[in-house]
């Protein structure tokens, strides 16, 4: 089943700037897809349209097979969760527990269910013991995890994450990627960090106001012009193996350090 | 940047165990009573009680004394404004009265997490919209303080300083910085509004935390009631 279907969507800001131009793509249920694009490519705007917070001037969006419009948006929003780029936009309540419970309470869930959802969300984001902490005393990485917990507690069928690892230190990034990889839901991740996208998602849609291309990572990396057009970099490991292939040394197309190490280990043991 | 919120030491206080509603009712009643006292003996007695309560609360001495000093500066204005018309004695009584009222409020705000305090206000039918404004204000005040501090650092890093109150360029830069903070506040407001909608906010902040009035709260209310009665009797000259 298709979870998200975007058809010929165009959106222009009030000042006339074109944010999205005839964008189309589909995301199947359970899929993890990255929306890759440079800054200003329209990724955050796309997520606001997908959440029904704004509506496209042209084209249509379907969520779980249902047309998203001003009438259906409040109901369809129950199926979706958006993690904002800046967690301070999203964390309103003065205590972590109350913030994570904010969405489930608004959904009218019974008290027992709210408490259970909050407990599970805090656990899955590694925030056990943070319940009574004030958000303004948390690190950036912790705030990001609180924002994700706030969305997970609503048990959405589709999660949108806008630049989830932006401004995080390496440890914060690693922790967050581990949290995201532990989630089992349809996930769209907007980022300009190809390496991050690679570690979280299965495939990517490359956009710069309009769709430039889409595919799995080996497919994208075999077309370096595509990433170049989107002002994105191929991560070091795929780039290294691409260069070796250009020199006639074809060892495969690893996307991670672990895969590369395995390939090199095998190649070296064959040689010796 | 770390900001020392008013309720930062609340968890360490002995009064944290008290129900915020009882604490709010008791301490506000003491504040109002003190504000109505005129006799020096009753004002001094109330001030002594407020200091004793602060000492009993277990709040750290240094930050509490610092805050009390800030209240004293405010009370100093009351002293100065009364002095020309009422003389030293009346000005001094006013000074101590303001200080005592401030000490009760300080005790309330320092020993109660802000969110609980707002919820206690809501219990006493304080308007919902004002309560929610207080919650959001408390949450976002620190962000704007950070924003302001970053802009100030950025100005200094580029060699900016206001030389005097007559420095027109300096004042113009400060004014445009304030404008930039407002502009950012507007954008933040838009983003927060979208985030609220995304999490099904429909005009009411709900929470599941329940307050419970226990024996300790009743004892505290009884103490507050007895103190108010004693102060009133002293004020009326029945005793003291």
> Does the CB of A159 have a partner CB in chain B at under 8 Å?
no
**Are both A201 and A92 inside the same structural domain?**
yes
Whether A135 sits inside 8 A of B139 (CB atoms) is yes
pLDDT value, residue B233: 93
Q: Between B21 and B129, where is the model more confident?
A: B21
pLDDT interval class at A91 (50, 70, 90)? confident
pLDDT for the residue numbered B2: 53
pLDDT band at B220 (very low <50, low <70, confident <90, very high): very high
B156 — contact with chain A (CB < 8 Å)?
no
B69 touches chain A (CB under 8 A): no
pLDDT interval class at B138 (50, 70, 90): confident
Residues A190 and A206 in one domain: yes
pLDDT at A80: 92
What does the alpha-carbon distance between residue A219 and residue A253 come to, in Å, rounded to a whole number? 10
pLDDT digits over A102-135, tens only?
888 888 889 999 999 999 999 988 899 998 888 8
- What is the Cβ-side half-sphere exposure of residue A132, based on CA atoms within 13 angstroms? 8
Predicted pLDDT of residue B65: 93
The verdict on B83 and B184 lying in the same domain is no
Same domain, A77 and A166: yes
Nearest CA in chain B to A111: B208
Same domain, A124 and A202: yes
Confidence of residue B132 (pLDDT cuts 50, 70, 90): confident
- pLDDT band at B1, cuts 50/70/90? low
Q: Are residues A187 and A269 part of one domain?
A: no
Cβ-defined contact of A86 to B191 (cutoff 8 Å): yes
Mean pLDDT is lowest, of A210-214, A229-233, B3-7, B19-23, for: B3-7
| Distance in Å, alpha carbon of A181 to nearest chain B alpha carbon | 23
Closest CA to A28 of A210, A176, A214: A214
Of A88, A95, A132, the CB nearest to B143: A88
pLDDT at B3: 56
Min mean pLDDT across A54-68, A256-270, B99-113, B173-187 is at B173-187
Q: What is the predicted pLDDT for the residue at A174? A: 86
Same domain? A63 vs A149: yes
B207 vs A251, higher pLDDT: A251
Do B93 and B145 belong to one domain? Answer: no
Mutate to test the interface with B, among A94, A139, A142, A160 (most CBs of B within 10 A): A94
Q: Would you say residue B96 has pLDDT above 90? A: yes
Nearest to A87 by CA among A198, A176, A158: A176
**Residue B149: pLDDT band with limits 50, 70, 90:** confident
Instruction: Give pLDDT, residue A136.
Output: 79
From edge to edge, which strands make up the β-sheet containing A210-216? A80-83, A158-162, A186-191, A32-36, A203-208, A210-216
Same domain, A213 and A95: yes
Q: Do B200 and A92 touch (CB under 8 A)?
A: no
The number of C-alpha atoms within 13 Å of A157 and in the hemisphere containing its C-beta is: 14
**Residue B70: exposure state from Cβ atoms within 10 A (0-12, 13-18, ≥19):** exposed
Whether A254 contacts chain B with CB within 8 A: no
Whether the CB of A182 is below 8 Å from some CB of chain B: the reply is: no
With CB atoms and an 8 Å threshold, state whether B142 touches A90: no
Whether residue B203 lies inside any domain: the answer is no
Nearest to A77 among B191, B198, B208 (CB): B198
Residue B94: pLDDT band (50, 70, 90) is very high
Do A42 and A163 have their domain in common?
yes
Cβ contacts (< 8 Å) between A154 and chain B: which residues?
199-200
Select from A84, A101, A132 the Cβ nearest to the Cβ of B195. Answer: A84
- Please name the member of A86, A94, A137 whose beta carbon is closest to the beta carbon of B114: A94
If you average pLDDT over each of A33-37, A136-140, B85-89, B148-152, which comes out highest? A33-37
B188 touches chain A (CB under 8 A): yes
Q: Is B207 touching A (CB cutoff 8 A)?
A: yes
Contact list in B for residue A90 (CB cut-off 8 A) is: 192, 195, 198-199
**B3 inside domain:** no
pLDDT at residue B5 tops 90: no
Q: B214 and B171, same structural domain?
A: no
- Its domain, for residue B138, covers 127-198
Interface membership of A88 toward B (CB under 8 Å): yes
CA distance B111 to chain A (A): 15
Residues 6+ away with beta carbon under 8 Å from B140: B188, B192
Q: Residue B3: which of A77, A88, A136 has the nearest Cβ?
A: A136
The range of the structural domain enclosing residue A265 comes to 235-272
Please tell me the least confidently modeled range out of B86-90, B173-177, B206-210. Answer: B206-210
CA dist A142 and A126 (Å) reads 9
Q: Are residues B191 and B85 in the same domain?
A: no
Write down the pLDDT at residue B164: 77
Report yes or no on B24 lying in a domain: yes
Residue A233 has pLDDT above 90, yes or no: no
Q: Number of folded domains in chain B? A: 2
CA B162, B166, B167, B169 torsion: positive or negative? positive
* A12–chain B nearest CA distance, Å: 17
pLDDT, residue B4, reads: 61
Contact B160, A60 (CB under 8 A): no
Rounded to whole angstroms, the Cα distance separating B220 from B216 reads: 6
**What is the domain-level CATH number for residue A23?**
3.40.50.300
Q: Residues A1-14: what's their mean pLDDT?
A: 93
More confident residue, B49 or B205: B49
Give how many domains chain A has, as a whole number.
2
Q: Is residue A9 domain-shared with residue A110, that is, in the same domain?
A: yes
Q: Are residues B72 and B168 in the same domain?
A: no
Residues A54 and A186 in one domain: yes
Mean pLDDT (whole number) for B132-144: 80
Residues B64 and B181 reside in one and the same domain: no
Residue B205 in any domain: the answer is: no
Q: Is residue B217 part of a domain?
A: yes
Name the phi and psi angles at B208, rounded to 5.
Answer: -100, -5
Neighbours of A153 (CB within 10 A): 30
- Write out chain B residues lying below 8 Å of A53, CB-based: 194, 197-198
- Give pLDDT tens digits for B99-128: 999 999 999 999 988 888 888 898 888 898
Q: For residue range A153-178, what is the model confidence (pLDDT) as tens digits?
A: 999 999 999 998 887 888 888 888 88
A77: pLDDT strictly greater than 70: yes
A107/B200 Cβ within 8 A = yes
The predicted model scores a pTM of 0.75
Q: How many CB pairs below 8 A link A and B?
A: 86
Give the pLDDT score at A18: 93
Are A263 and A200 in a shared domain? no
Is any Cβ of chain B less than 8 angstroms from the Cβ of A130? no
ipTM: 0.72
Residues A57 and A103 in one domain: yes
The residue of chain B nearest to residue A140, with distances taken between CA atoms, is B1
Mutate to test the interface with B, among A70, A84, A106, A155 (most CBs of B within 10 A): A106
Put simply, the answer to whether B198 touches A105 (Cβ < 8 Å) is no
The average pLDDT across A241-254 equals 86
For residue B31, give how far its alpha carbon lies from the nearest alpha carbon of chain A (Å). Answer: 26
């Amino acid at each position: 089943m298709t979870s998200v279907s975007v058809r010929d969507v165009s959106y222009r800001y009030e000042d006339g700037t074109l944010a999205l131009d005839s964008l189309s793509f589909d995301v199947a249920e359970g899929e993890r897809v990255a929306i890759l694009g440079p800054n200003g490519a329209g990724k955050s705007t796309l997520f606001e349209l997908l959440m029904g917070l704004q509506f496209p001037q042209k084209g249509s969006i379907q969520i779980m097979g249902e047309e998203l419009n001003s009438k259906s948006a409040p109901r369809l929003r129950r199926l979706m969760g958006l993690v904002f780029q800046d967690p301070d936009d999203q964390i309103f309540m003065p205590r972590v527990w109350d913030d994570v419970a904010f969405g489930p309470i608004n959904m009218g869930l019974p008290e027992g269910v709210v408490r259970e959802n909050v407990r599970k969300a805090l656990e899955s984001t590694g925030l056990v013991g943070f319940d009574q902490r004030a958000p303004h005393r948390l690190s950036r990485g912790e705030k990001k995890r609180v924002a994700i917990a706030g969305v997970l507690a609503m048990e959405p069928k589709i999660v949108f994450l806008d630049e989830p690892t932006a401004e995080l230190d390496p440890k914060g990034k690693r922790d967050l990627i581990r949290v995201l990889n532990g989630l089992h839901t349809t996930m769209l991740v907007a980022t300009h960090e190809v390496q991050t996208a690679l570690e979280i998602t299965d495939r990517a849609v490359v956009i710069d106001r309009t769709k430039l291309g889409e595919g799995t990572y080996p497919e994208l990396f075999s077309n370096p012009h595509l990433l170049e057009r989107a002002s994105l970099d191929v991560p070091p490991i795929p780039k290294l193996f691409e260069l070796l292939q250009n020199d006639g040394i074809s060892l495969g197309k690893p996307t991670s350090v672990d895969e590369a190490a395995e390939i090199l280990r095998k190649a070296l043991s064959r040689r010796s | 940047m770390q900001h020392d919120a008013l309720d930062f030491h609340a968890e360490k206080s002995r009064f944290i165990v008290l129900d915020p509603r009882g604490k709010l009712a008791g301490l506000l009643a003491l504040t109002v009573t003190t504000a109505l006292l005129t006799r020096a003996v009753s004002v001094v007695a109330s001030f002594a009680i407020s200091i004793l309560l602060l000492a009993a609360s277990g709040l750290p001495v240094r930050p509490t004394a610092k805050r009390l000093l800030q209240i004293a500066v405010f009370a100093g204005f009351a002293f100065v404004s009364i002095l020309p018309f009422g003389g030293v004695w009346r000005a001094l009584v006013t000074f101590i009265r303001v200080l005592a009222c401030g000490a009760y409020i300080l005790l309330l705000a320092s020993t109660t997490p802000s969110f609980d305090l707002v919820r206690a206000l809501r219990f006493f039918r304080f308007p919902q919209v004002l309560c929610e404004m207080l919650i959001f204000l408390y949450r976002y005040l620190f962000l704007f303080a950070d924003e302001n501090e970053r802009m100030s650092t950025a100005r200094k890093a580029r060699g900016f300083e206001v030389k005097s109150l007559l420095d027109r360029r300096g004042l113009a830069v400060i004014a445009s910085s304030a404008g930039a903070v407002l502009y950012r506040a507007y954008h933040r407001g838009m983003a927060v509004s979208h985030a609220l909608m995304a999490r099904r906010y429909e005009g009411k902040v709900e929470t599941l935390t329940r307050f419970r009035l226990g024996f300790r709260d009743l004892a505290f209310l009884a103490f507050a009631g007895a103190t108010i009665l004693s102060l009133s009797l002293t004020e009326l000259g029945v005793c003291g």
